[in-house]
Structure 1
Amino acid sequence: MLLYGEKMTRREVEARVGHLGQIGGVRRMKLTEGKEAGTELIEVRTGAGLSFDVVPSKGLDISHAQAWGASLSWQSPNGNAHPMHYEPEGVGWLRTASGGLLMTCGLSHVGSPSSDDTGSYGLHGRIHHTPAKNVNVREQWVGDELEWEVSGVVEETAIFGSKLRLTRSISGRLGDNRVTINDRVENFGFQPAAHMMLYHFNFGFPLLGEHTEIVLPEADSEARGSGGALLEKCGRWEAPDALIEETVYYHLLRREAADAEGMAEARVSNSRFPAGGVSRPLAVTLKWSVDTLPNLVQWRMPGAGEHVLGLEPSNCRVEGRAEEQNHGGPFILQPGSSANYRLELNVTS
């Protein structure tokens, strides 16, 4: 294990602590007040500076994340509101969406409220507000490496409707700020099912500031509903502006965007990140599987309060399920078939 810049064996680490939680690890807890009451969290501390909360109550999404005591993610004013308060119609999603490092959108619908011959769908679908089951927390020594994993199952079902099952694993190693997300979405019903999937990563202050640089993969890009001149803002950030309006960009990845493992990469870096009270360079790198997530949606909102950058790998756009038909979608999962998604997040300084 590489710990605090030094290579150590398992026994060398164990000799220096009474409990491994002294360094890092995984533990479960529950919130008790206000709209957050009853929400379960799983705190992950990597022992290398990165920590974050996985939320089984909300689809095993990731809420607050920080590096060396300073936040990486944008948190919504809703906090980790319990899904019992969720309003699925229209834009009610906005009243209980947590923000945080990751909000999963889908599984049947992504984007604006929409209706088609199968029914009506609210903003960004239900999966972010669906509790997980079969939740498992694992810490296990493999040689001199301590591996950790949080896993579980989230199902989106309806009588006479689609039956989709998300099996999620979030994993890493103690002493390493690299986090891997492996998802499988299966149609366990007996009819074809539309499947829209978007990973809504939300970055915030102090990672975002006037010294922030945003580097995106090779793509054919357009600004939703606006002229192409706005594309020059994709790699920049600025101070909060209460009068600014959100902008959404679509980046359709080019073939050369994928590396040898079929992964694309985006990076958010700040040359003056306040890590541990000292300003130093920090970069957050996001990678994802291009074959199943060929699009990158960029949500740019440098407002006041809503001061957030969304980088959102997806298999769809965000106009909603009905409009998706005009762009060759939505993606259809046949009965018994599945789609696999792989994402990696790495924090380096």
Structure 2
Amino acid sequence: MKLYGKERTRREIEARVGRLEQIGGIRYREGIDGKEKGMSFIEVRNGTGLAFTVVPTKGLDLSLVEYGGTPISWMSPSGDVHPMYYDPRDKQWLSTASGGMLMTCGLTNVGSSSGLGGNIQGVHGKAHHTPAKQVSAEGEWNGDEYDMVIRGTVEETAIFGPVLRLKREIRCRMGVNRITVEDVVENLGFEASPHMLLYHFNFGYPFMDENTQLDIPSTSVVPVKPDVPTIGYDHFEQPVEGYEERVYYHNMADRERATVTLTQPAFPQAGGRDIPLSVSIGWNTDTLPRLVQWKMPASGTYALGIEPSNCGVEGIAAEKDKGTLVWLQPGQAIRYRWELDFH
């Protein structure tokens, strides 16, 4: 393991600490106040400055992500709010969406409130507001490497409706600034089920400001609303009062793998020093061929969303009408994988 600039064996590390969690590891925490009350959190530290929080109560999504004690992720005005306050009607999702590094959207509806056969779902579906079950979190030595692994299951089920199961595995290795997530979504029912999935990554201040560089290597960029200009999608601004959100579709399907990189040339660290920091999101385009970009530098929000997906954001009915809706056959499963790298 390379730690603090030196390669050391397991025994060399253990000889220098009373307990490994002195350097990094996994820790459980529980919310006890306000709308966080009753929520469970899993905090992960990797020993080289990367720290992140996994929220089993909200679909094993990622809340706060920090590097060197400085936040990278964005937090919504609601913060980490228990899904017991979730209202699935129309746009009420926005009242309890936590933000954080990742909000999982789906599993059958993404984007606008929509439905099929009179079964209307709210904005971005239910996954972000569904508690995971069979959750486990453990650290384990593999030779001289220490791996931290979090697993759990999120289900979207209904009588006479979809019976979908998402199994998630989150991995991080001590001394390596990478978060890897692998999801398997399976149709456990006996009828074909619509399946929409979008990974809503959210970046905020101080990682995001007018100096942040955006590298989005798409072959085409199309605004979701026709009156929104394409120019400006590839840079961020200072806070702007009254700014209206802009959403863009990027075509990434002509390559097997896509990577979006954001770079902050002066990322603040403890002691008043700044360092250049890049964060890359990498994924396979065979299962996630679309990229949605949410640009919102408005005062009081100030966030950038990078959102790999298998669909658009106009809702399930529009996706079906366009002929692009993904259907999972009975017993069929799709595997998704993405990585967050911090350079």
- Same structural fold, with TM-score higher than 0.5 when normalized by the shorter chain: yes
Deviation at 1:254, TM superposition (A): 4.2
Deviation at 1:125, TM superposition (A): 0.2
- Please say if 1:253 is aligned against 2:240: no
Within 1, Cα distance between the matches of 2:62 and 2:98? 9
The corresponding residue for 1:338 is 333
Within 2, Cα distance between the matches of 1:138 and 1:327? 44
Within 2, Cα distance between the matches of 1:39 and 1:222? 39
SS of the residue 1:21 aligns to:
helix
Deviation at 1:116, TM superposition (A): 2.3
| CA distances 1:98-148 after superposition (whole Å, capped 9, x unpaired) | 000000000010000113215101000001000000101120000000011
| CA distances 1:15-48 after superposition (whole Å, capped 9, x unpaired) | 1111111111111110100011011000011111
TM-score after normalising by structure 1? 0.96
| CA distances 1:272-325 after superposition (whole Å, capped 9, x unpaired) | 110233111000000011100000000000011111000000000001111112
The corresponding residue for 1:132 is 132
Deviation at 1:232, TM superposition (A): 2.6
Within 2, Cα distance between the matches of 1:252 and 1:188? 31
Amino acid of the residue matched to residue 232 of structure 1? Answer: I
Amino acid of the residue matched to residue 282 of structure 1? Answer: L
| CA distances 1:209-246 after superposition (whole Å, capped 9, x unpaired) | 11100101232210111357x32312101110121100
Within 2, Cα distance between the matches of 1:326 and 1:158? 24
Change (3 A) 1:59 1:124: same
The corresponding residue for 1:242 is 241
The corresponding residue for 1:271 is 265
SS of the residue 1:209 aligns to:
coil
Within 2, Cα distance between the matches of 1:271 and 1:89? 41
5+ residue gaps, structure 2, are: none
Q: Please tell me whether the aligned partners of residues 74 and 203 of structure 1 are also in contact (alpha carbons under 8 angstroms).
A: yes
The equivalent position to 1:327 in structure 2, one of 318, 322, 337, is 322
Change (3 A) 1:134 1:254: closer
Within 2, Cα distance between the matches of 1:300 and 1:326? 27
Deviation at 1:5, TM superposition (A): 1.4
The corresponding residue for 1:61 is 61
Q: Please tell me whether the aligned partners of residues 253 and 290 of structure 2 are also in contact (alpha carbons under 8 angstroms).
A: no
Within 2, Cα distance between the matches of 1:308 and 1:82? 22
The corresponding residue for 1:3 is 3
Q: Please tell me whether the aligned partners of residues 75 and 100 of structure 1 are also in contact (alpha carbons under 8 angstroms).
A: yes
Within 2, Cα distance between the matches of 1:219 and 1:61? 29
The equivalent position to 1:317 in structure 2, one of 312, 322, 327, is 312
Change (3 A) 1:84 1:343: same
Deviation at 1:333, TM superposition (A): 0.1
Structure 1 segments, 4+ long, off by >3 Å, are: none
SS of the residue 1:207 aligns to:
coil
The corresponding residue for 1:299 is 294
Within 1, Cα distance between the matches of 2:322 and 2:25? 44
Deviation at 1:172, TM superposition (A): 1.6
Within 2, Cα distance between the matches of 1:7 and 1:308? 38
Q: Percent identity?
A: 49
5+ residue gaps, structure 1, are: none
The corresponding residue for 2:277 is 282
Amino acid of the residue matched to residue 232 of structure 2? Answer: K
| CA distances 1:57-110 after superposition (whole Å, capped 9, x unpaired) | 000000011110111000011111001000001111011100000000000100
Amino acid of the residue matched to residue 285 of structure 2? Answer: V
The corresponding residue for 1:144 is 144
Q: Please tell me whether the aligned partners of residues 191 and 335 of structure 1 are also in contact (alpha carbons under 8 angstroms).
A: yes
Provide the aligned C-alpha RMSD in A: 1.1
Matches within 5 A, 1:194-213: 194-213=194-213
- Please say if 1:181 is aligned against 2:181: yes
Within 2, Cα distance between the matches of 1:117 and 1:65? 40
SS of the residue 1:94 aligns to:
helix
- Please say if 1:153 is aligned against 2:153: yes
The corresponding residue for 2:96 is 96
TM-score after normalising by structure 2? 0.98
The corresponding residue for 1:47 is 47
Amino acid of the residue matched to residue 322 of structure 2? Answer: H
The corresponding residue for 2:191 is 191
Q: Please tell me whether the aligned partners of residues 253 and 286 of structure 2 are also in contact (alpha carbons under 8 angstroms).
A: no
